[in-house]
Amino acid sequence: MKAIVIDGDALRWDDVATPEPGVGEVRIRVRATAVNRADLVQRAGAYAPPPGASPILGLECAGEIDALGPEVADFALGEEVCALLAGGGYAEYVVVPAGQVRRLPPGLTVMEAAAIPEVFATAYLNLYLEAKATVGERFLIHAGASGVGTAAIQLGKLFSNPVAVSLSGESKAQRCLALGAEAAFDRSQDGFWEAVGGWTGAAGVDVILDPVGGAYLEHNMKVLALDGRLVIIGLMGGAQASLALGPMMVKRQRVIGSTLRARSVAAKAAVMDALEQRLWPAFGSGALTPIVEATLPMAEADAAHRLLASNETVGKILLTLE
Ligand SMILES: NC(=O)c1ccc[n+]([C@@H]2O[C@H](COP(=O)([O-])OP(=O)(O)OC[C@H]3O[C@@H](n4cnc5c(N)ncnc54)[C@H](OP(=O)(O)O)[C@@H]3O)[C@@H](O)[C@H]2O)c1
């Protein structure tokens, strides 16, 4: 089969071995995958795939079931599916444990479904399973216009959690407000954190979803409420910071570190079960929508990476094999 191969600084569409499904696995003929920030970091050599995962880029895909491994009873050949991957999506075929695969949400195309697994799983996992958000709790979502951010805004609206976001630029702010955010704060402006604090008020915000890390830790803890949860899912602003333990203890705040990719197959299957039960009907009704900034042919993966790295995108970039 063909796949995108990392060759020094370049990405090449090259011949590689077609993977064979093992026990409990299926092979998907990929029709679309989507680009994630993690792909840029993996490509740069700073984010190795978990043990046993494909070295090929790509954390999600949609396509058709092409082959079934032993002991897979839930799928039939030719069924259209989407899947959460530990790697391997930038290819004609990918093998994945069946528990990480789902039929498409009602009414969605294969292309639309390719934009769902990684970012909706990340947002749902961290807001509702890790932070255990309850109805009415308020969210601060950093990088609100990112793939994960646009999913998180929509989940907040769906489950009655008021959302404020941080981002750069007025056009991104307008997109996030249209998706359901109550407020949008521009991280490039002076007085950014004062503006965030104005929204959170003296009570603070209940849950923060933060892909920035070090540079935001001190400020995040100041705007976090009594019993608030800060979930760190990325380190775009550095991996080091100091934490004032006194206020954290007195305010009973929790700092949670979380990654999705390295979790067990069973844990990822449980997240996909939750998505299918709680989110698939909302995709069907239009209450949730995959947000797609651009769609490029798979062979143009390098251009897609440059577009994502520009920080100018809202939502996802798809790579297709149509
Ligand atoms: N832990 C996990 O399991 C998990 C899973 C998926 C994603 N993630 C993380 O979630 C984040 C979003 O991923 P994505 O693929 O959705 O991203 P994306 O669509 O590429 O968006 C990233 C956005 O982050 C903002 N940003 C970039 N550098 C920044 C910095 N130094 N400080 C603050 N903001 C910065 C930019 O938007 P603005 O300029 O508008 O702020 C940029 O457009 C990434 O950090 C990713 O690694 C974690």
Residue-wise pLDDT tens digits, 52-89: 999 999 999 999 999 999 999 999 999 999 999 999 99
Cβ–ligand 1 distance for 84 under 6 Å, the answer no
Cβ–ligand 1 distance for 119 under 6 Å, the answer yes
Cβ–ligand 1 distance for 122 under 6 Å, the answer yes
Residue-wise pLDDT tens digits, 283-293: 999 999 999 99
Q: Grade residue 247 by pLDDT with cuts at 50, 70 and 90.
A: very high
Residue-wise pLDDT tens digits, 274-285: 999 999 999 999
Q: What is the CATH code of the structural domain delimited by 119-257?
A: 3.40.50.720
What residue owns the CA closest to ligand 1's atom 22? 146
* Domain range summary for the chain, segments of one domain joined by +: 2-116+261-320, 119-257
What residue owns the CA closest to ligand 1's atom 33? 212
So what's the pLDDT on residue 72?
97
What residue owns the CA closest to ligand 1's atom 48? 233
- Region 160-179 average pLDDT: 98
pTM for this entry:
0.98
322: pLDDT strictly greater than 90? no
What residue owns the CA closest to ligand 1's atom 39? 168
What architecture does CATH give domain 2-116+261-320?
Alpha-Beta Complex (3.90)
What single-letter amino acid sits at 82?
A: C
CA-41 nearest atom, ligand 1: 47
Task: Give residue 311 CA to ligand 1 midpoint distance, Å.
Answer: 9
